[in-house]
Every structure is written in structure tokens, then in C-alpha cells.
Amino acid sequence: MFRCPQKTLTTSRFSPDWPLARFRTPVGVTRRFPALGAICAVALSFGASVPALAQAVGVTGPLQQPGAATATMQQAPSVGAPLAASDAAGAAGTPQSQQSDFDARQQVLDRRTAENNYQFAVAQHNCYSTFFVNHCIGKARDKMRVVQADIRREQLALDDEKRAAHAQQRDQQAALQRAQDEANAPQRAANEAASAQAYEQKQQQHALDQAQRQAEAPQRAANEQAYQEKQRQHALAQAQRQGEQSQRNANQAAYDQKQANYQNQLDEARRQGEQKAQERAGKAERYQQKQEDAAKHKADVEERQKQAAEKAQQKQQQEEQQKQQQKQQQEEQQDQ
């Protein structure tokens, strides 16, 4: 009968030095026994999941042999010995120490559970290398269940202790609260009395204020009536102002037109004034030019008159000289 060879982990039947290639399944066997090939594939899948399980639970080192796994599972129940001692120590400790003790015991139980599951997985993996696979797996499962039942009993005991500790803490807290309430009872009574007195004073003050408001009600009514009358007068005045708004608009338009006309007249007068100023400046310039020309002409006339007078004087002198010469000639002629 053909048996699926080991391909993932070495067992006691085969040496780890043998290469895995020597244990490959022949081609003809797979064709003749398809169901057996499927069983081998399932076995290999279980074997491949064992290292992953070992990493998940935090166990290091090589996988143990079936004998070592059995010894480990037999030694596992001995872990419960320190749990009883921790129970006795936690009962007399403070709530913090009890909680830390509970946490430590819970971690131990969790670690034992993970180790038990890992040992079962290792034993199950090793069973696939034996002839009676189901029988071997059943024995490993029975051992695993024994350890699991022991862990379950300890877990239930731990849960009972936790509930008892929590109930004790709750009772202690309730007792402390009752003692605190009893100690604060006089102060609370005094506070309640002061609150009641303050409430009565507020009620009396409220009654006085209400009576005063009732006494002032006629005055408030008169004030309200006067206010309403003022509002009515204001509404009438506003309506009248709205009626006069058109007249004011017309007056404003006429005023604006007058202002515009006046501004236009001012602009025209300013323009004419500038034009007349320019004309006056031109006339003054022409007058100045005429004055300069007249002065120049007068100077020329005076110069010509002076020259004419000089010429006339020279001519007169010449005539006198000629007369004297003629007179001398006549006298000379007479003397001859």
C-alpha cells in the first residue's frame, strides 16, 4: 500500500539529510489512486500550516518529536501550582495588586492555551507520518482536550475570583460612599436649610416686585397711551411730509434750474470778461505802439526842423557874407 511521503518537515522515519526529491510521488501512482493523492495533498496542507502556527503563538526552536510533545502535554498541568499561590496572595493584597495578579494568571492561561493548541498541531502533523493516522490524531486530540479541560477549570476559578474581588470592591466603595454621605449629612442639611431660606427670600422679593408692578400698572397704561398717541402723530406727520414731497421736489427742481442758469450766466460773464480783457490788452498794446510811433515821429520832426534851422542859418550867413562882399565891391568901385 502506498503512503504519501514527507515533504515539509522531517520525521523519525526519514533522515533530515535525505533530499526531498527522492520522495516525489510517482506519476503512475497518482493516476491509479486519485483519492490517495487528495489525502496526501490535505496532509501536506496541514503540515505547511504548523510553522505559521508556531510563529503565531510565539514558540521558537525546532518542532518537537511526538515523544517530546507528549512530555510537554504531560508537564502542562503542573503550571497550575503557582496559580493557587497567586490566588492566596491576591486575596490579601490591594485592588491594584489583585488586578495585576489576575492579569498575570490570565496571561499564563492564555499562554498554556496557545501552547496546548501548538502541541496538538505538532502532534497532528507528526501523525501523518505514522500508519494509523486517525488513531494517532484521536490520541493527540484526547490529550489536548484533557489539558484544555484543566485550563477551562482554572479559567472558571479565575473568573469566579475576579467576580468576587469586583463584588468586594463594589461593597467597599458603597461602604465608603455611605460613610462619606453620613459625614457630609450635617453640611448637606445646613446647605439645604440655607437654600430653603434663600428660596423663601426670593419668593418674598418676587411678591414685593409683583405688588409694585401692579401698583405701577396705571402709570404704565398712561405711558403706553401717550406713546400710542405720539406714534399716531408721527404717522400723520409722516403722511403729510409724503404729501408735500412732490412740492418739495418741484421746488428743488426749480432751484436746481435757477442755479444752473445762474452758473451758465456766470460762465458766460466770465468768458466775456476774459474776451474783453484780451481786447483791452490788445488795445493797450496798440496804443503803446502808437505812442512809441508818435514819439519817434516827433523826434524825427524835431531833428528835421533842427536841420532846417541850421540850413537856414547857414544860408542867411552866406547871404550876409555875399551882401558884405557886394558892399565891399561897391565901395571899392566907388573909391576907384
Residue 173 falls inside a structural domain: yes
Residue 205 falls inside a structural domain: no
Indicate if 101 and 242 belong to the same structural domain: no
Residue 79 falls inside a structural domain: yes
Question: What's the grid cell of residue 301?
Answer: 520832426
Asked if 53 contacts 118 with a C-beta cutoff of 8 angstroms, the reply is: yes
Q: Is 61 left (phi over 0), alpha (psi -120 to 50) or beta?
A: left
How high is the pLDDT of residue 107? 95
Q: Which domain holds residue 251?
A: 216-269
Residue 34 falls inside a structural domain: yes
Q: Is 62 left (phi over 0), alpha (psi -120 to 50) or beta?
A: beta
Angle at 319 between CA 316 and CA 323, to 5 degrees: 140
Distance of CA 309 to the CA centre of its chain: 116
Q: List phi, psi (to 5°) of 59.
A: -90, 130
Indicate if 172 and 237 belong to the same structural domain: no
How high is the pLDDT of residue 171? 94
How high is the pLDDT of residue 141? 94
Residues of the chain under the 70 pLDDT cut: 1-93
How high is the pLDDT of residue 41? 40
Using only the alpha carbons of the chain, give its radius of gyration: 71
- Grid coordinates 428743488 are at which residue? 252
Indicate if 78 and 178 belong to the same structural domain: yes
Q: What pLDDT digit, counting tens, does each position of 13-30 carry?
A: 333 333 333 333 333 333
How high is the pLDDT of residue 327? 85
Q: Which residues contact 294 (CB under 8 A, 6 or more apart)?
A: none
Choosing from 165, 183, 201, the residue where a domain stops is: 183
Residue 192 falls inside a structural domain: no
Q: For residues 69 and 308, give the distance between their C-alpha atoms in angstroms, rounded to a whole number.
A: 169
Three-state DSSP class for residue 67: helix
Indicate if 129 and 223 belong to the same structural domain: no
How high is the pLDDT of residue 323? 87
How high is the pLDDT of residue 27? 37
How high is the pLDDT of residue 77? 37
Kindly state the percentage of the chain with pLDDT values over 70. Answer: 72
Residue 121 falls inside a structural domain: yes
How high is the pLDDT of residue 66? 36
Q: For residues 3 and 36, give the distance between their C-alpha atoms in angstroms, rounded to a whole number.
A: 8
pTM: 0.33
Residue 280 falls inside a structural domain: no
Q: Which residues contact 63 (CB under 8 A, 6 or more apart)?
A: 9, 50, 51, 54, 122, 125
Indicate if 29 and 169 belong to the same structural domain: yes
Q: What is the DSSP string of 304-333?
A: HHHHHHHHHHHHHHHHHHHHHHHHHHHHHH
Give me the number of domains the chain comprises: 2
Distance of CA 133 to the CA centre of its chain: 65
For the chain, count helices (H), then strands (E).
9, 0
Indicate if 24 and 165 belong to the same structural domain: yes
Residue 151 falls inside a structural domain: yes
Q: For residues 65 and 132, give the distance between their C-alpha atoms in angstroms, rounded to a whole number.
A: 17
Q: List phi, psi (to 5°) of 105.
A: -65, -35
How high is the pLDDT of residue 242? 80
